[in-house]
Amino acid sequence: MRLDRLLGTLLFTALTVAGRSAVAQAAAIPMPERWDTTYVLILEMNPSYVPASDSAAGSVIAAHIQYQLGLVRDGRARQGGPIADATPSEMIGMTLLATGSRKEAEAIAAADPAVMAGQFKARIRAWTTPQLSPR
C-alpha cells in the first residue's frame, strides 16, 4: 500500500472514531433538574380589525407599541414584536413576558390598548424550557 493511501486511511479512521466520540458525548447531556416557565403573549387581529390608516386605529396601534415598549423598559417583558412572515391580513405579534404567573400575564395582556380597543385578541401560552448552567 502506498504511503499516501495508508496515511489517508489512518486519518479517515481517526476522524471517524473522533466523530463517534463527539456524538456519544452530545448524547450524554444530563437532563436538567430545574425548568423555567416563560409566559408568551400572542396577539392576533380580531375580525373587526381596522387598518392603521384610519386615524383612530392608528392612535390605538401607536398606544399598543408604546405599551409594549414600556413592558420591556420596565422589565415586565423580555422582548416582543410582530412575527415577520405574517401577512398584513393575518398580523400576529408575540411578547415574551417576564412574569411569575399566568394571572399576571393575563392582566398584562388585558391592559394592552389594542386588546382593550378590540383590535387584537390575546392568548397566553406557557413555554417551559430547561434551566441550563451558564457556560
| Mean pLDDT score, 82-88 | 74
pLDDT digits (tens, 9 = 90+) for 95-121: 999 999 999 999 999 999 999 999 999
Q: What is residue 91's predicted lDDT score, i.e. its pLDDT?
A: 77
Spatial neighbors of 14 by CB under 8 A, at least 6 apart, are: none
pLDDT digits (tens, 9 = 90+) for 25-84: 667 888 888 899 999 999 998 887 766 666 776 788 899 999 999 999 999 999 999 987
3-state percent helix, strand, coil for the chain, nearest multiple of 5: 45, 25, 30
Which residue in 120, 117, 123, 74 sits closest to 99, CA to CA?
74
Alpha helices in the chain (DSSP H): 3-27, 55-73, 102-110, 113-116
Q: What is residue 16's predicted lDDT score, i.e. its pLDDT?
A: 67
End-to-end Cα distance, the chain: 46
Q: What is residue 41's predicted lDDT score, i.e. its pLDDT?
A: 97
pLDDT value at 15 more than 70? no
SS3 for 54?
Answer: coil
pLDDT value at 87 more than 60? yes
Where is pLDDT greater, at 135 or 98? 98
Q: What is residue 27's predicted lDDT score, i.e. its pLDDT?
A: 73
